[in-house]
Chain A
């Protein structure tokens, strides 16, 4: 594989990976904020 193409692929994957970390962190935080109420409701008899 040409070095330039290889470098572009690495840069693209790194960019997508960083975006996914940001998106997932936000999603996880939002979910976490409601964890206590969801768990509370879920655990009732």
Chain B
């Protein structure tokens, strides 16, 4: 065979193996999503299933004597809290104040949904009057300061911060120190915390999301590290708020972990034994003079409002 043909055969063989390898990888891992990619920002809740003023909606319906009128505060917030603040609107707003075009709320709608990052930006920019979220991140506080906005935060309920793993992970319980160690890289293998001999893939969320901010607080200044080998071959651990895992986005392949021997059940959150339950807040611009803001906050903290918090799946303040 001529040299030219030999080179063609060699290159062809290499190309065939490369293409075959890539197709295997692509087919088998096509469900994989880069935790740091754009898809992280995609919506995670079917907004249309929790619309106010709709009979078959998944929200809590209550009879309220408080009916707002006039300059209605524009409401926005986190995905995990959306069914709850949609229920607040259902209870206190006139029906015509909310407009949904089948995909999104229209611009003139008093109810909006832009998730934690978008909601904090909206309340600082004046596009929303009250948002319902976990604590703001340092970046979100800095953005508010830069714009000269003082954010008022009113705690309206509690929610547990939970850690989740795949259901086939033999680990069911970790201590706080072990979880922190998995994220700092102190423990690189699950066998070091009672699991099997697999590397750890400690998955994080995008900066500014409510759960990522809560995680930074949980780590208490300890730096979180990512393992490339862990990401490729390890067993994953992630974090979320309990209601998201239990109610909004149930996934049979995922289980919540007990922390310090206490499972994040509603009962254990309410009686204070689960160690990392934290407040979520109604947040507004302190200089906002809309009188309906205080009326709405009074309603939320009333027995009826707190009933919405409880029946939506969270732990009320009282």
Contacts and interface: CB of A to CB of B under 8 A. Distances in A.
Q: Do A and B bind each other?
A: yes
Interface of A: 1, 3, 6, 9-10, 13-14, 16-17, 20-21, 24-25, 27-45
A27 B203 contact: no
A25 B26 CA distance: 11
Chain B at the A interface: SS class: mixed
A27 to B, nearest CB: 6
Chain A at the B interface: SS class: helix
Given A6-B1, A10-B9, A36-B251, A45 B201 contact: no
A36 B254 contact: yes
Contacts of A30: 232-233
A28 B29 contact: yes
Nearest to B204: A41
Contacts of A42: 33-35, 37, 39-40, 203, 205
B25 A24 contact: yes
Which of B25, B28, B232 has the largest count of A CB atoms less than 10 A from its CB?
Answer: B28
Which range holds the interface residue count of chain B? 35 or more
Interface of B: 1, 3, 6, 9-10, 13-14, 16-17, 20-21, 24-25, 28-29, 31-35, 37, 39-40, 42-45, 78-80, 115-116, 164-166, 168, 201, 203, 205, 209, 211, 232-236, 238-240, 244, 249, 251, 253-254
A41 B236 contact: yes
A41 B164 contact: yes
A38 B236 contact: yes
A41 B165 CA distance: 10
